[in-house]
Structure 1
Amino acid sequence: MKIGLRTVKTAVAAVLAMLLAGALNLLYAPSAGIIAVLSVGNTKKSSVDTALARLISLGIATSLSFLCFTLIGYNALAFGVYLLLFISISAKFQLTDGIVVNSVLVTHYMMEESYSWLLIKNEFLLMTIGVGFALLLNLYMPDIEKQLKQKQLNIEENFREILSGMVRTLNQNPKEMLDKECQKLLIFIRQGQQKAQMYQENQWQRTDVYYEEYFSMRRTQVRMLSDMVNLLKDIEVEETLVENLRPLLEFTVETFHEANDGTEILKRIDAVYEIYRMKPLPQDREEFENRARLFQFLQSFKSFIEIKTEFSKSIAKLNEETASE
């Protein structure tokens, strides 16, 4: 049985919260531990957001329950009316995470049949201690940047494999399941995006959006790549018409890398365009349609490279702005 880091942090936060609440002689001290369990998030940012939202939510819950219990009585009917109002308001203001935990705290008012300042202070202390220890334990997060860099390498290798498959199947019926490979790559990129978001939310001071932008760029590229694969299936032209395209794809495979901004590839694409413009016009409709698909393939390939070029420019500009601040 494997025990994860989040599980350990949750258990420690709960124990510490209960011990502190007990040491302060708070009523319903175990509730602080339960609050801690429900407040340990996946990232530092999520823990801070949860803490603030639940404190605000507790203020709303206390006010609503006071009205309900005072007007109707300290009974189940009043609690039901409170829930109708509290759940509706929480949903409207996106505070739904606090519905369960704050409703538990509200039952303390019902059982004590009191809204004394000491009891209200007691409930807010329980909440503060619970979310406080959850936040404290979440200050430590393992650095996942190495994982992100490894995912980058894996993704780029997958791109190279698909492009190599295109070289092999150019101008013939593709036997490789390149479209399925594109779908697998898309799933892998989505996983990278999730990791990148987690990495970003664990940064207190830095606004390093590079990894999120990188995986977003590759996600756009893989969709374009999928379109190219579909076009490739229907391209059947004379070998002389693809003799310049094949070296272009091979060069892309050899130079496909995170640091490559694609400018050299774009120059080679323009050179291939010029060669195609010098070719004799198609002689019949079938040849025309095949040439059209080949031209569309080259257009899609150019867009595929331009996505990376624009990304490189935007990151360079962002770095310049950050350096000048």
Structure 2
Amino acid sequence: MRIGLRTIKTAIASVIAMMIAEFLQLNYPTAAGVIAILSLGNTKKDSLYTGLGRIFSLGLATVVAFVCFHIIGYNPFAFGIYLLLFIPLAVKLKVTEGIVVNSVLVTHYLVEQSFSVQLLINEFLLLTIGVGAALLLNSYMPNREKMVKEEQIVVEDLFRKLIWDLSKSFQQLDNTQLSADCEKLMKTIRSAQTKAKLLSKDRYFDVNPYFEEYFLMRGSQVRILKDMIDLQAKISLDAKYTKQMQLLLEKTALSFDEENDGTQLLEDLDAIYMFYQALQLPDNRKEFENRARLFQFLQSFQSFIELKSEFSNVNPFSKNAKN
């Protein structure tokens, strides 16, 4: 049995909340512990927004309950009417995270048959203590930036291998392995995107969307690579036509890096365009179709490089960003 960090933080937050509630001699102190459990989210922002939403919705729940209990009475039927009114309002105001927690607190009004100032203060303190304990424990988070950077290294290594293998695969009609490697790379990128989103939510201020946008860009590049792999399997030309493209793919694989903005590769690509334009025209329809596919392959590769170039020059958080 493995006990994770979140489980440990949940247990500690619950104990702290109940101890504070008992120290302040609040009624129903265990409720503070339950609220702490329910308020501890996956990220700092999740916990903060959930907590603030529950504090706001407790005010709403109190008003609705006050009206229902005073008109209908302190009975289960009145509580049912309260739920019929409060739940749609909470959904409308987008504070659904407070429905369960605050409805439990509302039962305290029902049990006590009172809305005294002392009881109102008691309920708001229980909620505040529970939320506060969750925020306190969630102030410590594992180093997600380190994990995201590790994922980034894995992604770039997979890109290098895939592009290198692509350079060696001309004249091969079966690109099954390359397609499988493409799928593996995309799954790795999706995993990295999830971690990057969690990293962004772990920061209250100074939000840096760089990694989210970086992996989004890499995902777009994978889709282009997939098209290139499918297209390459249909190209059947003499090595004199494909050699220049193979060399450029090898150079791309060797220089593939986060800091490479693709400027030199685009210049090399222009030179290849000029090389193909200087070649003799095709002798037959088959050669014409294959050279047309090679030209389409070149255009896709250009889009592949331009995606990274645009990202490096436009993204304000990129190391190569230009003013």
> Aligned in 2, Cα 1:102/1:155: closer, same or farther, shift over 3 Å?
same
Q: Secondary structure at the match of 1:114?
A: coil
**Are 1:157 and 2:152 counterparts?**
no
The answer for the alignment partner of 2:213 in structure 1 is 213
Alpha-carbon distance in structure 2 between the residues aligned to 1:234 and 1:76? 72
Alpha-carbon distance in structure 2 between the residues aligned to 1:73 and 1:218? 61
- For 1:284, the aligned partner's letter is N
The answer for the alignment partner of 1:10 in structure 2 is 10
The answer for the alignment partner of 2:293 in structure 1 is 293
- Deviation per CA, 1:145-188: give whole Å up to 9, x if none: 22222111110110111112211211321344212211221111
Q: Return 5+ residue gaps in structure 1 as ranges.
A: none
TM-score normalized by structure 2? 0.95
State percent identity of aligned pairs.
50
Alpha-carbon distance in structure 1 between the residues aligned to 2:243 and 2:319? 40
The answer for the alignment partner of 2:22 in structure 1 is 22
Deviation at 1:94?
A: 1.7
The answer to whether the 8 A contact 1:165-1:176 is kept is no
> Aligned in 2, Cα 1:167/1:258: closer, same or farther, shift over 3 Å?
same
The answer for the alignment partner of 1:106 in structure 2 is 106
The answer to whether the 8 A contact 1:171-1:242 is kept is no
Alpha-carbon distance in structure 1 between the residues aligned to 2:101 and 2:212? 33
> Aligned in 2, Cα 1:312/1:320: closer, same or farther, shift over 3 Å?
closer
- Deviation per CA, 1:172-210: give whole Å up to 9, x if none: 213442122112211111111111122222223323222
The answer for the alignment partner of 2:259 in structure 1 is 259
Alpha-carbon distance in structure 1 between the residues aligned to 2:66 and 2:180? 59
Deviation at 1:289?
A: 2.2
- Deviation per CA, 1:280-302: give whole Å up to 9, x if none: 22233332222221111111111
Alpha-carbon distance in structure 2 between the residues aligned to 1:244 and 1:37? 61
1:1-325 aligned at under 5 Å gives the runs 1-315=1-315
Alpha-carbon distance in structure 1 between the residues aligned to 2:176 and 2:268? 26
- For 1:253, the aligned partner's letter is A
Deviation at 1:318?
A: 6.8
Q: Return 5+ residue gaps in structure 2 as ranges.
A: none
Q: Secondary structure at the match of 1:243?
A: helix
- For 1:171, the aligned partner's letter is Q
- Deviation per CA, 1:255-309: give whole Å up to 9, x if none: 0011111111111111111111112222333322222211111111110011111
Cα root mean square deviation, aligned: 1.8
Deviation at 1:213?
A: 1.8
Deviation at 1:39?
A: 0.5
Question: How many residues align structurally?
Answer: 322
- For 2:302, the aligned partner's letter is K
> Aligned in 2, Cα 1:76/1:301: closer, same or farther, shift over 3 Å?
same
